[in-house]
């Protein structure tokens, strides 16, 4: 089975936020009210986290996407009391919304802070119920959710492959953030296929993982910025 992974090239990333918006739209992630937003309850499966070091004018500003790292040794699945978050055979860390009891232990355990909680029930904004993506279930209040690498797209790819009586190929499936990234900074595919772009990039000299030292074995790699040769 493919081991799905992602490489994000921070040299190409312009921090435009298209991935953030695309993810919200594709996965029916709730838009919370301004008051809830002010209280820290915004829901993003994918965020841009900015870190500024130094002072003006020489401040170094690093803005990088933060999403579920789909760890191969996930700290969140270890602590879930009801097997609502789990590392599936398809190498994705899944989330079973009907089973989640909302204890938020996985949120406390995730060192990347990528899990999001439904603090209340929010309907889509007025008039916008009809444009929700029918492939992705809406989550009720009180459950935890997170990036699923657009698992519904993997499902669709598997169905197509089954209909055509062949295995799923790398090119069949791509999360929406990869698709809409304007500078093509995100690459996705099978990390176990030595010929795939994502596998080769993940072994490049510039490749790092977030919080590598924790041993979570994330499947999301970052290629650090290059210095200009001037």
Partner 1 sequence: MTAAGLAAAGSSWFTNRLFAMAQEGTLRVPRGAGQQRWVPTLCRLCPAGCGIRVRMVDGLPVGLEGDRAHPVSAGGLCPAGLAGLQELVHPDRLRTPLRREGPRGSGRWTPTTWEHALESIAAPLRQLRLDGHPERFLVLERGDSPLTRFWLERVMRAYGSPNLVLDGGHEPWRAAWTYVAGAAHPPAADLVHSDFILSFGHELFETDGHPVWQSKVWGRLRAPDAQRPAVLAYVGPRVSPTAARADLRAAIPPGHEALMALGLAHILITENLIDRSFLERWTSGYHEPGTGAGISWPGFEGFIRQRYAPEEVSRRTGVPVSEIFRLGRAFGNARRPIAIVGPSPLHAEDGLAVAMAVVALNLAVGSVGRAGGYVTGGGAPFALPETVVADEVARRGLASPRMDGAGSATLAAVAQSPARLIANLADGKPYPAAVALIHGTNPAHEWAGGRRLGQALSGVGTVVSVATILDESTDCADLVLPESSFLESWGLLPSPSLMPFDYAGIQQPAVEPLYQSRCFEDAWFALARRIGGPPAAAVPAGSYAEWLPEAAQGLLAAGRGTLAGSEFQGRIADFMESRGWKVAGPASPAAFWEALRSSGAWVDVPRAERSPADLLGPGIERYRFWPAPLLAEAARVAGSPVAAEAIYMGPKAAALGGAERDDDAGAFPMHLLLFDTNTVWGGRTALTPLMLEMTGHREDIAWDSWLEIHPDTARRLRVENGDRVRVESAAGSLVTRARLAPVVPPDAVAMLRGLGHRRFGRFATGIGAHAPSLVPAQVDVWTGTAITTTRVRVTPAKA
Partner 2 sequence: MHRFEPSSTQDETLFRPIERTTRKFYLTVAVLVAIILFAVIMYLRQMMLGLTVTGMMQPVTWGFYIVNFVFFIGISHAGTLISAILRITQAEWRRPITRMAEVITAIVLAIGGLHPIIDLGRPDRVANVFLYGRLQSPLLWDVTSISAYFAASTVYLFLPLIPDVALLRERGKKHRWLYEFLSWGWQGTPQQWKVLHRAINIMMIVVVPIAVSVHTVISYIFAMTLQSGWHSTIFGPYFVVGAIFSGIAALFIAMIAFRSAFRLQAYLKLVHFQQLAKLMLAMAVLWGYFTFCEYLTGFYGGEPAEMKTLLYKVSGRYAPLFWTMIVCNFAIPVALLSYKKFRTIPSILISSFAVLIGMWLERLIIVVPSLENPRMPFPTHIYVPTLTEISIFAGGLALFALGFIVFAKFFPIVSVWEIQEGRALGKAETEERIESYLPEEQPSHA
**Contact set with partner 1 (CB under 8 A):** 9, 11-18, 20-22, 24-26, 31-32, 34, 37-38, 42, 44, 47-48, 50, 52, 54-57, 59, 61, 63, 97, 121, 125-134, 137-141, 176, 179-185, 201, 204, 206, 223, 226-230
Rounded Cα–Cα distance for residues 203 and 194 (Å): 10
Rounded Cα–Cα distance for residues 101 and 173 (Å): 31
Compare residues 3 and 42 and give the one whose CB is closer to partner 2. 42
Compare residues 72 and 132 and give the one whose CB is closer to partner 1. 132
Task: Provide the terminal-to-terminal Cα distance of the chain, rounded to the nearest Å.
Answer: 45
Rounded Cα–Cα distance for residues 6 and 218 (Å): 10
Compare residues 67 and 154 and give the one whose CB is closer to partner 2. 67
CB of 89 to partner 1, least distance (A): 26
Whether cis (ω within 30° of 0) applies to the bond prior to 174 is no
Q: Could you say whether residue 61 binds partner 2 (CB under 8 A)? A: no
Angle at alpha carbon of residue 5, lines to 211 and 140, rounded to 5°: 85
User: Does residue 6 contact residue 71 with C-beta atoms inside 8 Å?
Assistant: no
Q: Which residue has the tokens 């010929």?
A: 195
Out of 1, 11, 82, 192, the only residue in the binding site for partner 2 (CB under 8 A) is: 82
CB of 61 to partner 1, least distance (A): 4
| Nearest one of 203, 201, 207 to 225, comparing CA atoms | 207
Q: Could you say whether residue 211 binds partner 2 (CB under 8 A)? A: yes
Residues 125 to 164 in contact with partner 2, rule: CB under 8 A: 140-144
Q: Which residue has the tokens 């130094």?
A: 54
Q: What is the 3-state secondary structure (H, E, C) of 101-153?
A: CCCCHHHHHCCCCCCEECCCCCCCCCCCCCCCCCCCCCCCCCCEECCCCCHHH
Compare residues 140 and 167 and give the one whose CB is closer to partner 2. 140
Compare residues 92 and 106 and give the one whose CB is closer to partner 2. 106
Compare residues 89 and 131 and give the one whose CB is closer to partner 1. 131
CB of 55 to partner 1, least distance (A): 5
User: 17 — alpha (psi -120 to 50), left (phi > 0) or beta?
Assistant: left
CB of 218 to partner 2, least distance (A): 12
Residue 80 binding target from partner 1, partner 2, none, CB below 5 to 8 Å by type? partner 2
Footprint of partner 2 on this chain (CB under 8 A)? 36, 39-42, 49-51, 66, 75, 78-84, 99-105, 107-109, 111-113, 116-121, 140-144, 210-211, 214, 216
């Amino acid at each position: 089975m493919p081991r799905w992974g992602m490489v994000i090239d921070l040299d190409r990333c312009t921090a435009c936020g298209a991935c953030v918006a695309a993810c919200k739209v594709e996965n029916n992630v709730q838009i919370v009210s301004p008051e809830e937003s002010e209280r820290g309850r915004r829901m993003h499966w994918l965020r841009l986290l900015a870190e500024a070091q130094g002072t003006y004018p020489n401040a170094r500003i690093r803005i990088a996407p933060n999403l579920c790292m789909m760890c191969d040794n996930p700290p969140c699945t270890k602590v879930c009391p009801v097997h609502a978050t789990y590392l599936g055979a398809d190498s994705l860390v899944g989330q079973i919304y009907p089973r989640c009891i909302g204890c938020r232990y996985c949120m406390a355990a995730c060192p990347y802070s990528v899990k999001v909680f439904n603090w209340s029930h929010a309907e889509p904004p007025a008039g916008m119920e009809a444009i929700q993506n029918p492939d992705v279930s809406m989550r009720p209040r009180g459950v935890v959710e997170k990036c699923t690498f657009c698992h519904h797209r993997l499902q669709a790819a598997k169905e197509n492959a089954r209909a055509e009586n062949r295995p799923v190929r790398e090119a069949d499936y791509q999360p929406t953030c990869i698709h809409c990234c304007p500078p093509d900074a995100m690459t996705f595919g099978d990390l176990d296929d030595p010929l795939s772009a994502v596998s080769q990039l993940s072994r490049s000299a510039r490749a790092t993982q977030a919080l590598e030292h924790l041993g979570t074995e994330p499947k999301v790699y970052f290629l650090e910025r290059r210095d200009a040769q001037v």
